[in-house]
Amino acid sequence: MKNYNREYHEFFTTWRKYDNLTSFFSMIGLVCGIVSFELDVQFDKFDSIEHISTEDLNAMDSSRFHSPWVRPIRYIILITTMCAVSTHVIRHYFRI
């Protein structure tokens, strides 16, 4: 009986570790997204829908995309999202 309890405890500890990693990576990505938006609001004076013109129909042509901090933050968001998804998949692997 003791062997099953120990095995279950190790399994649960591993499961919780991957849950915590998934939450950590998700929160880092969310914070980076919020920081990116707030930097755009502060420096580009993007405060209303009237700011968007008909020339900005393509998102890649907007002034927000060409800001020097946007691409590194988007890559950080991409990496943290990929890490969160991979830890979530690994967690389900240990669920078997």
* pLDDT grade for 54, boundaries at 50, 70 and 90: low
Mean pLDDT confidence for 21-36 = 89
With a CB cutoff of 8 Å and minimum separation 6, the contacts of 32 are 73, 76, 77, 80
Q: What is the mean pLDDT of the chain?
A: 78
Decide if 77 is inside a domain.
yes
Note the pLDDT of residue 62: 66
pTM of the complete model beyond 0.85: no
* Domain coverage including residue 28: 15-45+58-94
pLDDT of 1 reads 55
The answer to whether residue 20 is domain-embedded is yes
* Mean pLDDT score, 46-51: 57
How far apart are alpha carbons 73 and 64 in whole angstroms? 12
Task: Please check whether residue 53 lies inside any domain of the structure.
Answer: no
User: How many domains does the chain fold into?
Assistant: 1
